[in-house]
Amino acid sequence: MSRSPSLPDRPRLDLDPEMSPAERLEALREHFLKLEQVNDELTDQLDAAESRRDDLRDQVDQLERENETLKTSSLYIATAEELTDEGVVVKQHGNNQEVLTEVSPQLREELEAGDRVAINDSFSVQTLLEAETDARAQAMQVNSSPEVTYDDIGGLEEQTREVREAVEEPLINAEQFAEVGIDPPSGVLLHGPPGTGKTMLAKAVANETDATFIKMAGSELVQKFIGEGARLVRDLFELASEHEPAIIFIDEIDAIAAKRTESKTSGDAEVQRTMMQLLSEMDGFEDRGEIRIIAATNRFDMLDRAILRPGRFDRLIEVPNPDREGRERILEIHTQDMSLADDIGLGAIADQTDDFSGAELASLATEAGMFAIRDERTTVTTEDFEDALEKITDTDGEETGPIAFY
C-alpha cells in the first residue's frame, strides 16, 4: 500500500525588532511566498488524497459487487473424500466427478473426510455443510410413537400375525428366544402392490411395542441424496441404536437392492455401495439389541437375491390387495367417523371394488364425503359412493358405465 506523503515544513517568520519597516515588509513578503508554496503543496497532496479516496471507493464498490455475486451464485454440493498434503479430494454429487482441490487453511482445520461441502465453479471448497444432521433429518422420518394400531388395518390378519411373530415377539420376549436357543428372524420383507398397508403394518408394530419408528425411502436415497446413500444407511442404523427399541422401515427397498444390471455407470456403482452398506449393517446386526428391521417393496421380482439370504431379509410376507371381506373391513374403518346414511351397504361397495387396494378404498370414502360436501349435505349417501367410484375408476383410465350398489 502507498504511504501518505509527509506534510511540508511550516515556514517560520523571524521578525527582528531592529528591522527597518522596509526590511520587515520584505521579510513578510518572503514569508507570504513560502506560505503560498506550502499551500500549493498541501493542495496537491489533498488532490492526490482525494483521488486515492475515490479509487478506494471504486475498489470497495467492486469488492462489494463481487461479494454479492459470490453470495448469490450457486455452489455445488460435494463430499470431501480424502484430505491430502496436496489438497482435498472432493467428489461432486450428481456426476460423481472427483477432483483434487484447494481449501482455505481455516476450513481445512474443521474438515474431515466424509463431510459434505459446497464447492464453486472452480471446485474450490467454500463452505462446510452440516451434512449429518441436515441429510439425516431430511432422509429419515423419525416417529417416537406412530398412531396406527392393528385395529386400523383391514384384512391382513395372517400378515399381521406373521409380523407380530417376527418383529414384536423378539422385541418384547427376547429371553424366550434366548431360552429356546434360536435367533429371531433378522429382517422382514413386506411385498405386494402399492397402498395395501405395508407401511401401516410396520407402524402398528412399532406402536404396539413402544418402539421408535424410523422410516427411510430407498428411492430418495438414490435420487435425492446422491453420493450419500451408504453414509445415510450407516446413519440410519446408528440413529436406531440411539433410540432403542426401534423399528427401521425401509420403503421401496428395490431402489437400492435391485438385481445387478450389466451397465456399469457411476449411478449403479453408487446404488451398489448403498446396498453393500445395508448388507454389512444387517450382517453385523445380531449384536445390535432392540432394533428390528422391516423393508417393503412393490417390485419383489426386481430384488437382488443377496438381500434375501438367511440373516438378512429372511422372513418374506406377501401383502396382497384385500379380498372382499378385507375390503368391507377397510371401508368400515375408513367410514367409521363419517355420517353415513342408514341404508348404506358397505358390503355392496366391497363387491364393486374388486382389485382396489386399501389406499384406493380410503380415497373412495374421502371422495364420497366430498360429493356430500359439494351438495351441502352432512350425511354421505350410497349415491355419493357411486359417484365417487365412477370418478375414481374414470381417472384410473378404466371404462365406466353407470355404477349402482344394490
Ligand X SMILES: Nc1ncnc2c1ncn2[C@@H]1O[C@H](COP(=O)(O)OP(=O)(O)OP(=O)(O)O)[C@@H](O)[C@H]1O
Residue 335 touching ligand X (CB under 6 A): no
Residue 254 touching ligand X (CB under 6 A): no
**How many Å apart are CA 182 and CA 333, to the nearest integer?**
38
Residue 210: strand, helix, or coil = coil
Determine the interface stretch with ligand X among 55-63, 129-137, 147-155, 383-391 (rule: CB under 6 A): 147-155
State the residue number with the nearest CB to ligand X: 358
Kindly give, in sequence order, each residue whose CB lies less than 8 Å from that of residue 158, ignoring residues fewer than 6 positions away: none
Q: Do the annotations mark residue 197 as ligand-binding?
A: yes
Residue 369 touching ligand X (CB under 6 A): no
DSSP secondary structure string for all residues of 239-283 = HHHHTSSEEEEEESGGGTSBPPPS---HHHHHHHHHHHHHHHHHH
What is the rounded (10 degree) CA torsion for 39, 41, 46, 47? Answer: 120
Shortest distance (Å) from residue 177 CB to ligand X: 27
Q: Do the annotations mark residue 87 as ligand-binding?
A: no
- Nearer Cβ to ligand X, position 77 or 307? 307
Kindly give, in sequence order, each residue whose CB lies less than 8 Å from that of residue 197, ignoring residues fewer than 6 positions away: 153, 154, 155, 156, 319, 358
Determine the interface stretch with ligand X among 70-78, 106-114, 132-140, 148-156 (rule: CB under 6 A): 148-156
Which of 199, 207, 212, 274 is close enough to bind ligand X by CB under 6 A? 199
Shortest distance (Å) from residue 397 CB to ligand X: 19
Which of 139, 153, 303, 380 is close enough to bind ligand X by CB under 6 A? 153
The grid cell for 174 is: 427376547
Residue 359 touching ligand X (CB under 6 A): yes
Binding mask 47-76 for ligand X (x = CB under 6 A): ------------------------------
Instruction: Compute the C-alpha angle 279/281/286, nearest 5°.
Output: 110
What DSSP state is assigned to residue 121? Answer: T
Q: Which residues bind ligand X (CB under 6 A)?
A: 153-156, 194-200, 251, 296, 298, 330, 333, 358-359, 362
